């Protein structure tokens, strides 16, 4: 199992590509069950961060994150999944080793391992943004030092708020110094509906995303959750220069977890 030239070409040309599920059905079921264990508090790890969904579907109304806030199906974002051995094993899958070696290099860390949920008939509109820029509090944010792997935990459709992207927009570079959301004028100029594509996925399928690719996601109008697991791999030499909500880093002594290469994390047995 390895990343092909054609996938890398697609990544270069349009800023993303899709992959089939990389683990067995049984292994994927274990991931889904473990996700439930964590959202319901049956398993807890110190240092994971939890943010509940807001009540108004508006991005600026989501509450601040914190520690575990009780069993809930309404978490919008949870970070710190590398602390869990089932998730760590997935994140260190040899296909992601191959991907990151080809795109980044030998020593690879993550700046976040994140669950993003659109609860049934709910969820928050996430506006168009790029995953990079000074606001992320990282010592570097060059394009070739990052790649995001987004896995569908549930089927993700247009109606359930799947990710929407502007193919090729990674070539625009960072549209804001700070990174993250773009202005309404930039949306008009670069991200009209006609230019966009919806990334629908069956559970287990994966999208590999360039961090400068403009992407957003809507609300969930179905009766089933739309959960995604997003891992942002980066060059392992990058350090933290600031705290940042986006990376979930609030501890000033935080060191990014190494996934591959020297000092890579090992799952506790
Ligand atoms: O899962 C989503 O709806 C958005 C995820 C996202 O923005 C990301 O992985 O960078």
Domains along the chain with CATH numbers: 5-260 (2.60.120.620)
Q: State the pLDDT at residue 135.
A: 80
Q: Summarize pLDDT for 4-62 with one digit per residue, the tens.
A: 999 999 999 999 999 999 999 999 999 999 999 999 999 999 989 999 988 777 777 77
Mutation choice for ligand 1 from 217, 220, 229, CB with most ligand atoms inside 8 A: 217
Mutation choice for ligand 1 from 123, 141, 150, 200, CB with most ligand atoms inside 8 A: 150
Q: State the pLDDT at residue 220.
A: 96
> Can you read off the two tokens belonging to residue 157?
């459709």
Residue 130 makes CB contacts below 8 A (sequence gap 6+) with 174, 175, 176, 179, 180, 182, 211, 212, 213, 214, 215
Q: Which helix (H) or strand (E) holds 32?
A: helix 25-39
Q: Which of 13, 12, 32 is nearest to 21 (CA)?
A: 32
Dihedral sign for Cα atoms in the order 237, 240, 245, 251: positive
Q: Is the CB of 228 under 6 A from ligand 1?
A: yes
Per-state percent for the chain, helix, strand, coil, to nearest 5 = 25, 25, 50
Q: Summarize pLDDT for 187-204 with one digit per residue, the tens.
A: 999 999 999 999 999 999
Q: Is the CB of 149 under 6 A from ligand 1?
A: no
Dihedral sign for Cα atoms in the order 9, 10, 14, 17: negative
Q: From ligand 1's centre to the CA of 90, what distance in Å?
A: 18
220 — phi, psi (to 5°)?
-105, 115
Q: Whole-angstrom Cα distance, residue 230 to residue 61? A: 22
Query: Residue range 121-144: average pLDDT?
Result: 89
> Can you read off the two tokens belonging to residue 174?
């960072």
Q: Is the pLDDT of residue 221 over 70?
A: yes
Q: Which of 108, 93, 114, 57 is nearest to 233 (CA)?
A: 108
Q: Whole-angstrom Cα distance, residue 189 to residue 201? A: 28
> Can you read off the two tokens belonging to residue 88?
């760590």
Virtual torsion, Cα 85, 138, 118, 28, nearest 10 deg: -30
Q: Whole-angstrom Cα distance, residue 247 to residue 238? A: 13
Q: Which of 238, 101, 224 is nearest to 161 (CA)?
A: 224
Q: Whole-angstrom Cα distance, residue 204 to residue 19? A: 9
Query: Residue range 57-71: average pLDDT?
Result: 84
Query: Residue range 161-190: average pLDDT?
Result: 93
Mean per-residue pLDDT of the chain: 92
- Reported pTM: 0.95
Q: From ligand 1's centre to the CA of 269, what distance in Å?
A: 30
Query: Residue range 75-85: average pLDDT?
Result: 95
Q: Whole-angstrom Cα distance, residue 101 to residue 95? A: 10
């Amino acid at each position: 199992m390895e990343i092909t030239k054609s996938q890398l070409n697609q990544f270069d040309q349009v800023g993303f590509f899709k992959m089939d599920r990389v683990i067995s059905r049984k292994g994927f079921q274990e991931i889904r069950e473990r996700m439930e264990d964590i959202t319901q508090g049956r398993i807890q790890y110190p240092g994971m961060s939890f943010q509940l969904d807001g009540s108004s579907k508006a991005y600026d109304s989501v509450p601040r994150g914190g520690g575990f806030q009780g069993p809930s199906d309404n978490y919008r974002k949870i970070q710190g999944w590398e602390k869990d051995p089932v998730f760590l094993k997935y994140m260190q899958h040899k296909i992601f080793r191959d991907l990151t070696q080809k795109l980044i290099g030998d020593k690879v860390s993550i700046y976040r391992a994140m669950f993003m949920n659109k609860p049934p008939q709910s969820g928050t509109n996430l506006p168009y943004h790029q995953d990079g820029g000074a606001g992320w509090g990282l010592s570097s944010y060059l394009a070739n030092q990052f790649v995001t792997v987004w896995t569908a935990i549930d089927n993700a459709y247009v109606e359930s708020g799947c990710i929407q992207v502007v193919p090729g927009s990674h070539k625009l570079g960072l549209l804001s110094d700070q990174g993250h959301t773009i202005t309404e004028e930039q949306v008009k100029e670069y991200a009209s509906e006609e230019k966009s594509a919806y990334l629908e996925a069956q559970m287990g399928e994966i999208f590999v995303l360039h961090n400068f690719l403009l992407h957003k996601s809507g609300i969930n109008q179905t009766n089933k959750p739309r959960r995604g697991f997003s891992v942002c791999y980066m060059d392992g030499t990058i350090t933290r220069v600031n705290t940042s909500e986006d990376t979930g880093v609030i501890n000033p002594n935080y060191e990014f977890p190494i996934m591959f290469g020297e000092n890579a994390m090992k799952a506790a047995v």
